Amino acid sequence: MGEQPVDLSPEALAKAVNAAQQAFALADSLEALARAKTEHLGDRSPLALARQALGRLPKEERADSGQRVNVARGDAQRSYDGRLTALRAERDTAVLAAEGIDVTLPSTRQPTGARHPITILAEHIADTFIAMGWELAEGPEVESEQFNFDALNFPPDHPRAASKTPSISRRRIHGSCCAPTRHRYRCAPCWSANYRSTSSRSAGPSAPTNSMPPTRRCSIRSRDWRWIAG
């Protein structure tokens, strides 16, 4: 059984182009447009069959018929491309409208981060001791030798190992485990300024010495407890 003859006349090609243009124009979604493309520009569409039939034409007719088929297919393709661009623009506009944010509305963003549980626990412990009559003193991490060793009655020849007591500068070292804060605290001109109440009032400056100026409050400090005599 032979193949069915394909009409390559200008009227038949114009009819195929008009049918394709109408189908593309009626497509109201990208899915519908894809189905219309398969029907009118696919491998089994009238325009595709017309192009395949060019090989069976006599050589003298092939050039004119091929030009007409190419023009018809180009018109249908341009109609499809225009409708595809329009539908994509409509889709993007709808997505932007649906996902738009009204900046005048209150923000729904949740606050990020929280206080560390150990910090909260340390403050609860401090408040408990303060309620029992203790006082919280704060001092710097970098301390002078006076408060770190001499005020604790360490002899001058006491072995101060570099691995245990890192030196910051001359006669200034990192606070050791000897808790020098209490001696600096007792030497302060006004020790009551360092009192920490349950209202978390900021501590005052540390005591000045001949070799080291007063140290202001900072984020990293050593702490010590002092009993308040009744």
Per-residue model confidence (pLDDT) at position 3:
60
- Give the whole-angstrom CA distance, residue 175 versus residue 73: 86
Tens-digit pLDDT profile for residues 48-84: 888 888 888 888 888 888 888 999 999 999 999 999 9
Q: What is the mean pLDDT of the chain?
A: 73
Per-residue model confidence (pLDDT) at position 156:
67
- Give the whole-angstrom CA distance, residue 96 versus residue 230: 71
Structural domains in the chain (count): 2
Per-residue model confidence (pLDDT) at position 109:
75
Whether residue 212 is found in the same domain as residue 147: yes
Q: Does 187 reside within a domain?
A: yes
Q: Which parts of the chain have pLDDT scores under 50? A: 1-2, 162, 189-222, 229-230
CA nearest to 74, candidates 45, 41, 43: 41
Per-residue model confidence (pLDDT) at position 121:
94
Whether residue 74 is found in the same domain as residue 38: yes
Q: Which domain holds residue 33?
A: 10-98
Whether residue 216 is found in the same domain as residue 126: yes
